[in-house]
Copies of this chain bind each other. A is one copy, B any other.
């Protein structure tokens, strides 16, 4: 640990997302940012500014050889997450990884296993899970305000196609899947995965994608991700037996609306002969838009990383959650290859693997 009560951290990767981590670790009361590592050390220096006292290095090895380092935050391309995280964990450092945890399920599972063995925190930066609106959605569901979840429909579309060899599912859907994992009671445990994609520009990977996740109890989750939309739409509808909420993330004036409306079915009168309209009734009640605090999600995220280390517990978005997300993402590829057929996400085996894990992850999840 660093000389005072702060934990010391280094950020690896100063490209697209790294500067956000750097900014938040720098201003966090929990953390002391001691170094930034990037193959392009000039880029790292520019991010820090001329007068900072933070070290810059272009070598992960040199970084991990430091003796004043408690944790490492990784914001490099997904393919490199595995090796860097493994080296950091083996050197005894807690690890935070940008989403997705890895580019395939095997390496993600290996990271989770290694963290278990070493008794270290492995956390994914599933940023949306630290926003006030997603926290509120989680709470509304957990407190039963929506009743049972009937469906979740998520749309996340805007101009994209920025990364080579990553399709729109791997680029955008980690957000939706990590949110689903956080808000659904029991986490992200679909009965299967069906994916439909299109590559109308012939870019070599899906640019428009639809993901269907049948859920236990007849419910369904559906995700629309799209790189070719001229407007940014980020909307999630969560329908419940009691109420239904609409989260419109591009409307800062009313991000979250909870509708006391729905369809009620009188079950007893529904039979094979007379499934008449008279058995249906509507609740056309009021809409309610809860006030949400204006807090910075990344600040909450780095605080949770520090708290989970200090309290020796699993963080909100731990390696197990991130592995479920990666498992579903990998399943999309198999479904796409099978013309959209429903495939298994292999979440049971993931759970089995986790059950061998360390005491750290046997702790009750915070949700």
Chain A interfacial positions (CB closer than 8 Å to B): 26-27, 49, 51-54, 148, 150-151, 153, 157, 159-165, 192, 194, 196-204, 207-208, 210, 212, 214, 217-220, 222, 224, 226-232, 237, 239, 241, 243-244, 246, 250, 252-254, 257, 259-263, 265, 267, 270, 274-277, 280, 282, 284-291, 339-342
User: Does B228 lie within 8 Å of A239, measured CB to CB?
Assistant: yes
User: Does A208 lie within 8 Å of B220, measured CB to CB?
Assistant: yes
Tell me whether A199 and B218 are in contact in the complex, defined as CB-CB below 8 angstroms, given that A27-B49, A208-B151, A275-B165 are known contacts. yes
User: Does B262 lie within 8 Å of A203, measured CB to CB?
Assistant: no
Report B-chain residues with C-beta under 8 Å of the C-beta of A284: 159, 291
Tell me whether A217 and B194 are in contact in the complex, defined as CB-CB below 8 angstroms, given that A153-B226, A244-B229 are known contacts. no
> For residue A203, which residue of chain B has the nearest CB?
B265
A294 to B: closest C-beta gap in Å: 10
What are 25 pairs between A and B in contact, CB < 8 Å?
Answer: A51-B53, A151-B208, A153-B224, A159-B262, A159-B282, A159-B284, A160-B263, A161-B263, A162-B277, A164-B274, A192-B339, A194-B196, A194-B340, A196-B212, A198-B218, A200-B218, A201-B263, A203-B265, A228-B263, A230-B246, A230-B262, A286-B288, A289-B289, A339-B341, A341-B341
A68 to B: closest C-beta gap in Å: 15
User: Does A239 lie within 8 Å of B229, measured CB to CB?
Assistant: yes
User: Does B291 lie within 8 Å of A289, measured CB to CB?
Assistant: no
> For residue A252, which residue of chain B has the nearest CB?
B250
Report B-chain residues with C-beta under 8 Å of the C-beta of A201: 150, 241, 263, 265
CA distance A17 to B244 in the complex (A): 29
The copy count of this chain in the complex is 4
User: Does B263 lie within 8 Å of A244, measured CB to CB?
Assistant: no
A249 to B: closest C-beta gap in Å: 12
Report B-chain residues with C-beta under 8 Å of the C-beta of A259: 230-231
Report B-chain residues with C-beta under 8 Å of the C-beta of A342: 339-340
Report B-chain residues with C-beta under 8 Å of the C-beta of A263: 159-161, 201, 207, 227-228
Report B-chain residues with C-beta under 8 Å of the C-beta of A159: 261-263, 282, 284
Report B-chain residues with C-beta under 8 Å of the C-beta of A253: 231-232, 250
User: Does B200 lie within 8 Å of A151, measured CB to CB?
Assistant: yes
> For residue A229, which residue of chain B has the nearest CB?
B237
A36 to B: closest C-beta gap in Å: 13
User: Does B208 lie within 8 Å of A196, measured CB to CB?
Assistant: no
User: Does A277 lie within 8 Å of B151, measured CB to CB?
Assistant: no
Most buried by B among A151, A199, A217: A151
CA distance A51 to B153 in the complex (A): 46
Most buried by B among A53, A200, A212: A200
CA distance A33 to B267 in the complex (A): 43
A124 to B: closest C-beta gap in Å: 24
> For residue A246, which residue of chain B has the nearest CB?
B231
User: Does B285 lie within 8 Å of A288, measured CB to CB?
Assistant: no
A288 to B: closest C-beta gap in Å: 6
CA distance A357 to B258 in the complex (A): 51
Tell me whether A228 and B262 are in contact in the complex, defined as CB-CB below 8 angstroms, given that A162-B277, A286-B290 are known contacts. yes
Of B203, B262, B290, which one neighbours A275 at CB under 8 angstroms?
B203
CA distance A146 to B51 in the complex (A): 48
A88 to B: closest C-beta gap in Å: 24
CA distance A226 to B239 in the complex (A): 11
Of B241, B250, B270, B340, which one neighbours A340 at CB under 8 angstroms?
B340
User: Does B290 lie within 8 Å of A289, measured CB to CB?
Assistant: no
